[in-house]
Chain A
Amino acid sequence: MVEGKFGVCNGITRVNDVKSGSSTLRKSPSGDRFKIYIPYAGQTITWEVILDNSCPEEPPDFIFEDSDFCPNVADIKSLVNWDIGDPHCLTKVIRELLEHYKTFHERLLEAHSRLQFEYSSLLDQTELSRDLIEVYSERTEKKIGPINFLIKLPVDFSDIPPYLTKDNPGENSAVLLILFPSPDSSRVTPQLYLSPRVEHAFGGSGNLRIPAFPSGGCLLDYVPDVYKLLQNKVEKTVQIYERRKELIAAFLSHFGRSVLEFDADGFFDISFLFEWNDFFFILYIELAPSFPQEAPVLTFQSIYHESKEKPYSEVHDKYPYSPRWSGPEMATRIKTYILDNIQAFQKQSVISGSL
């Protein structure tokens, strides 16, 4: 069966609607007609594959959704050389057909100078190669549109923090889908799709805003802008992640033997149980997404006294701090701050809280 990944999105096809073409009932599984759904340029195209149970050596026939797409069979080498013994025979055919389909849509642009310009300028004047771009034009009798440009941005995601989950988050990617409602429209709408691990690293899907497509603008300018924006975001994200990790590691190095919990995914927080002169208390240390610009927030919490039905606690977020300090230096200075303030906290917890 089809196991391949196709196209810019590395999309996995779905196979559905398996039917049998034979007119008589058979005992063994005889599904020899089925539909393939292939993601392409932001659409899902449906091709029907027709094999023949009684003659499996015969290459398949295809029914394409798009009746204008009619490649010459002789041009499709893997159909001409159809070998049922090769487990990838069908995959190869689909891949070739998809190449032809892509060319078919590229040619459709030639009739529209603006779109043709957009496409060729992207190819010629940016670093994007043809395999990173897919175009698709919706056609009716009277007009053409919307036209999709699907562009995989070659962002370097190699340093993105790990995302530990049992569902394979897949490869890292950022894909830009740009819609032209009609060949000469100025209301061009872009959409950015990020793979799960990238989205997780950015702190969720809402966390990256791409600029609107400027009216009168062109892809040649816009796409590299988005690419730069993303690349910068990746670098920044990696940098601040490393800073958080460094600080948490420094705290663990000082206080690992009294740790309660810490965020082992994003390194956004760590908590300890401390004892000072027989007085035990909890310290929560929390880092904002804007750390290291913003100082870690320290919360002292009592384990003996309550206030308003909750453990008595004090938030300390204004203390001597510089984002330029290294993780180890920050940890040492915060420790000093804690030692300087425990006594006051203890007194206050006794006064304000109830036992």
Chain B
Amino acid sequence: MEAENESGSDQENYSRLVSSVIHEYDIIDVEPGARSEESANEDVKSRDSSQDDVTLPRVNCPEKIIICLDMSSEMDKVSFRSRSGDKWTPMKLVRRALSFFLHSKQRLNRNHQFALVHLFDKASWVKDFTGNVRSIISALDDMSDTVELQSFNATSLFDLIHQCVPLPELEGDTTILPPPYIVRMLFIYGRSNGLIEFRNKESFRQLDSSPYFFFDAMYVHEPQSPENRCEEIFDRLCDLDEKGMSYIFEAARNPTRLYDQMAKLLAHPLQRPLQSEIAYRLHNIADLTDT
């Protein structure tokens, strides 16, 4: 539910909020009884701390977004259904949602760039960073077949990224100076039984130690049941959010929800609220009680 601060000290609030462009995000007071949208959803992990060590400027610097797309054959198994009876594979929906994502992200800032990585047993680079959205969409349309896969070797993915993607150095006053870009992984995983194996975390640690590195995830899966390991896999994904700055979403069965979650991932890591704080619902003004 959306909380709004309509109280009298408007001018002060506004300038505080705006000066939070270069300071830590100022959390708006929540109305008593209001909850953040996600708190009712059992799948959202609780977040105790955000990254307190480094305060970053809330600037919309260019993003380098690495789309990590699961190529397991489960992505090609129909599991999403609409009320009208239409059916889709996760891959079809994800590709379409990614197309919306890419167009929207480009509309937000022409300087964002995108790369594509395929996840088989290990990760492999498909398309290097480009601002040309059409070429990424082409690469998504022309991709190779999915393969029957078991567990995924996360070490290979982080090794690959650590090797290929330089992170900006910290220069000057990092609480004020915007970095030239930030790097964000968009990890799209579709296995309901294939665990994420992560033995050697060295590369991940190196990447994650930079305040300009972000890890987001979208998990598409069968409905959770004792027959599969969705909950365990989702928990493993949440574990990767060591800094508390990630957005980790999941969707099963409901296509609309998949589109919704992918849209939430549009938010710029330096400007967006913490996942536990997000609230999208619009209220009619008449519905709100005056404080």
Question: A residues bordering B, Cβ < 8 Å?
Answer: 164-166, 245-246, 248-250, 252-265, 271, 273-276, 278, 280, 282, 284, 301, 303-304, 306, 310-311, 327-328, 332, 335-336, 338-339, 342
**Are A265 and B59 in contact, CB atoms less than 8 angstroms apart?**
yes
Q: Which of B3, B14, B60, B259 interacts with A328 by CB under 8 Å?
A: B14
Cα–Cα distance between A140 and B170 once the two chains are bound (Å)? 54
**Are A301 and B104 in contact, CB atoms less than 8 angstroms apart?**
yes
Determine the chain B residues whose CB is within 8 A of the CB of A335 once the complex forms. 282, 285
Cα–Cα distance between A263 and B290 once the two chains are bound (Å)? 31
**Are B266 and A273 in contact, CB atoms less than 8 angstroms apart?**
yes
**Are A274 and B282 in contact, CB atoms less than 8 angstroms apart?**
yes
**Are A166 and B103 in contact, CB atoms less than 8 angstroms apart?**
no
Given A282-B104, A303-B260, A328-B10: A259 touches B281 (CB 8 Å cut-off): no
Among residues of B, the one whose C-beta sits closest to the C-beta of A304 is: B259
Q: In the assembled complex, how far is the CB of residue B143 from the closest CB belonging to chain A, in whole angstroms?
A: 19
**Are B17 and A261 in contact, CB atoms less than 8 angstroms apart?**
no
**Are B177 and A258 in contact, CB atoms less than 8 angstroms apart?**
no
**Are A261 and B109 in contact, CB atoms less than 8 angstroms apart?**
yes
B187-195, B207-215, B269-277 - interface stretch = B269-277
Q: In the assembled complex, how far is the CB of residue B100 from the closest CB belonging to chain A, in whole angstroms?
A: 5
Q: In the assembled complex, how far is the CB of residue A331 from the closest CB belonging to chain B, in whole angstroms?
A: 10
Determine the chain B residues whose CB is within 8 A of the CB of A284 once the complex forms. 107-108
**Are B260 and A280 in contact, CB atoms less than 8 angstroms apart?**
yes
**Are A249 and B17 in contact, CB atoms less than 8 angstroms apart?**
yes
Determine the chain A residues whose CB is within 8 A of the CB of B103 once the complex forms. 310-311
Name, among B28, B59, B259, B280, the residue most crowded by chain A CB atoms within 10 Å (CB to CB): B280
Q: In the assembled complex, how far is the CB of residue B257 from the closest CB belonging to chain A, in whole angstroms?
A: 10
Among residues of B, the one whose C-beta sits closest to the C-beta of A245 is: B18
Interface size on B, residues (CB 8 A): 49
Q: In the assembled complex, how far is the CB of residue B105 from the closest CB belonging to chain A, in whole angstroms?
A: 9
**Are A164 and B177 in contact, CB atoms less than 8 angstroms apart?**
yes
What are 30 residue pairs bridging A and B, where the CB atoms are less than 8 Å apart in the complex?
A: A164-B57, A164-B177, A249-B14, A249-B18, A252-B14, A253-B10, A253-B13, A253-B14, A254-B4, A256-B273, A257-B3, A258-B2, A258-B280, A259-B267, A259-B271, A260-B267, A260-B272, A264-B60, A273-B264, A273-B280, A276-B282, A280-B280, A282-B104, A282-B266, A284-B108, A303-B100, A303-B262, A311-B100, A311-B103, A336-B285
Q: In the assembled complex, how far is the CB of residue B140 from the closest CB belonging to chain A, in whole angstroms?
A: 14
**Are A263 and B60 in contact, CB atoms less than 8 angstroms apart?**
yes
Within 8 A of A (CB), among B239-291: 256, 259-260, 262-264, 266-268, 271-273, 277-282, 284-285
Among residues of A, the one whose C-beta sits closest to the C-beta of B180 is: A166
**Are A259 and B273 in contact, CB atoms less than 8 angstroms apart?**
yes
Determine the chain B residues whose CB is within 8 A of the CB of A303 once the complex forms. 100, 104, 259-260, 262-263
**Are A257 and B28 in contact, CB atoms less than 8 angstroms apart?**
yes
**Are B59 and A342 in contact, CB atoms less than 8 angstroms apart?**
no
Determine the chain A residues whose CB is within 8 A of the CB of B177 once the complex forms. 164-166
Among residues of A, the one whose C-beta sits closest to the C-beta of B283 is: A339
Q: Which of B18, B28, B104, B109 interacts with A248 by CB under 8 Å?
A: B18
Cα–Cα distance between A177 and B132 once the two chains are bound (Å)? 43
Given A301-B104, A311-B103: A260 touches B14 (CB 8 Å cut-off): no
